[in-house]
Amino acid sequence: MAAEVNRRDAGAVLLYDADCGFCRWSLAKLLAWDRRRALRPVPISSAEGEALLGDLGDQRDASWHLVVDGGRYSAGAALPPLLRLLPGGAPLAWLTARMPRLTQASYSLIAANRGRLGPLLSGGAVRRAEGRIRRRQEG
């Protein structure tokens, strides 16, 4: 279920851990898929992140979050609405929505191992990811 939140502007906000190389790399892959520019990446630790997630307390840093259409989705529950925003993502959105426990378990497995996955990425991959994120944030 999505939590109601106040939003600064239109569009979908994807909140991510800016200190995690794997998180930045993953976000950049989503931004590359997002040819319609429906997503706006925002670090969880930013002032806007605090405004959107401040009520979550310790859970704020526990996962990524998607704020869209007045709702807030976190962890695996963010996948279906996120995928609906991406070109060709509707079938995957349908599938992840039909299997919420599997979606959450898959998300949790990846999130729990992001510290192991990050070092497997090349420095160049992380730099390219950071560039893609920066360009999207700059508009």
Higher pLDDT among residues 139 and 76, named by residue: 76
Q: For the chain, which residues make up each domain, given as ranges?
A: 3-138
Residue 133: both structure tokens together: 């994120």
Question: Rounded to whole angstroms, how far apart are CA atoms 107 and 29?
Answer: 16
Residues 98-116, mean pLDDT to the nearest whole number: 96
pLDDT of residue 11: 84
DSSP H helices, the chain, are 21-33, 47-53, 79-85, 90-98, 100-112, 114-117, 123-138
Q: Does position 14 have pLDDT exceeding 70, yes or no?
A: yes
Distance in Å from the first CA to the final CA of the chain: 30
Tell me the per-residue pLDDT of 27-60, one tens digit each, with 9 for 90 and over.
999 999 999 999 999 999 999 999 999 999 888 9
pLDDT at 8 over 90: no
Say if residues 75 and 62 touch (Cβ distance below 8 Å).
yes
Instruction: Output the average pLDDT for the chain.
Output: 91
Which amino acid does the sequence have at 108?
A: S
Q: How many residues does the chain have?
A: 139
Which pLDDT value is given to residue 95?
97
